[in-house]
Amino acid sequence: MIHGQPPRLWLLTPTVDSLSAVAALQDAKPVGLKVTNDRQLRAIVAPVETADPEAMTPRVLQGAPALRLVTTESDLAFDYLDVGYRLASAKLRDVMGLSAEDAQLLQVDASKCPPAVRDKDYRWLHLTHVADPFDREQSDGGYADVYVGAPEAWHPDAPTVRRWRLAMPGPGRSIRVCWRADFVAPAPLFQAAGVPWTLATDALAKRIRAAGISDVLLQDVTQEVEPAPYVIIHQ
């Protein structure tokens, strides 16, 4: 990726270890980790997540019940994990210091989890802010006709809207991403429009690293790097 001169932003994801651990539990027989009310939550999340990407208004989940997490793994001690829903521990939340205006931190019912998991006091982190930090004219991307309704309501003749989207990553294909120099993040943590990225401001990234949180992977996606195509910063 080649970048412009933007404010520094960090792609925030779970670590590979965290992803691997969760996947192993989800694939285990019997299943070792499950969100038991996943279907109910998806019905609430889906319309919000598939909303018009041009609508930069905050995406607030209304009426979401507590996420019911069940796991048999007492060593599931990650501060940040993605079970299909982002879970952040109390420690991570303290470090991030997100306000109610910054993001939704929804209840997680971990009563059927081992004590070590309950002690993590997870909350479901839902990003409410969507923002477009990209210089569309300079970045690899384009306009496509997209359907913006509920997935279950799609049919071949469903109306579409024309929306901009960053180019799909292609293995071996470097995507040019240019950032708006005048971009101001709406919150310390937000969703990028046009690509499913969770982006953190530099200040938030520094706080996470300074606290020694090892379960969050922060990748600097706004600085040009040579010759390796990326820089991965470990805490």
Partner 1 sequence: MVVSRKFALIGVLPGRADDALAVLDAMTGSRTATMQLLQGNHQPGIGLFGPTDMAARPIQLAQAAGAAAPASRPIPRPGMDPAARRALGQAGGGLALGAAAIGAEQAMREARERSDGETTEQAFETFRLDRNKLADVFAARAYSWAKFYGPWAYFWYFDYNLGWTGPVNETFAQAVMRHEREYPGTLGSAVTQSNQQAWDVITGLLERSSAAVGVDQQIIAERNRYSSVDDALSAKPSRYNAAAKVPPLGIWRIHHLIPFAVVAGLPVPAQQAFVAAGWNLDRAENLIPLPANNATYTGPPNFSVLPIHAGGHGQYNIQVGLWIGPIAARAVLQSPAQTLTDLTAFENQLRAYLLVRLGQIHPRLL
Site residues (vs partner 1, CB under 8 A) = 1, 11, 13-16, 19-20, 23, 27, 42, 45-47, 49-50, 82, 84-86, 144-147, 150-152, 154-156, 165-166, 168-175, 195-197, 217, 219, 221, 229-230, 232
Least distance from partner 1 to the Cβ atom of residue 172, Å: 4
- DSSP three-state, residue 172: coil
Q: Which residues contact 50 (CB under 8 A, 6 or more apart)?
A: 148, 149, 150, 151
The residue (of 118 and 175) whose beta carbon lies closer to partner 1 is 175
Kindly tell me which of 119 and 158 has the beta carbon lying closer to partner 1: 158
Q: Name the phi and psi angles at 18, rounded to 5.
A: -65, -45
CB of 101 to partner 1, least distance (A): 21
Angle at 28 between CA 23 and CA 31, to 5 degrees: 100
Which helix (H) or strand (E) segment is 208 a member of? helix 202-210
Residue identified by tokens 């598939």 is 50
C-beta closer to partner 1: residue 118 or 219 = 219
Task: Identify which of residues 118 and 165 has a Cβ nearer to partner 1 in the complex.
Answer: 165
Q: Are 18 and 78 in contact (CB under 8 A)?
A: yes
Whole-number minimum distance, CB 12 to partner 1, in Å?
A: 9
Q: How far is the CB of 115 from partner 1 (least distance, A)?
A: 27
We find the least distance from the C-beta atom of residue 60 to partner 1, in angstroms, to be 16
Least separation in angstroms between CB 164 and partner 1: 12
Q: Give me 107's structure tokens.
A: 């209840």
Who's near 141: CB < 8 A, 6+ residues apart?
Answer: 134, 164, 165, 166, 167, 194
Closest C-alpha to 4, from 174, 195, 168, 135: 135
When the beta carbons of 30 and 196 are compared against partner 1, the nearer one is: 196
- Contacts with 35 (C-beta within 8 Å, 6 or more apart), sequence order: 41, 67, 68, 69, 70, 83, 84, 85
Instruction: CB nearer to partner 1: give 89 or 222.
Output: 222
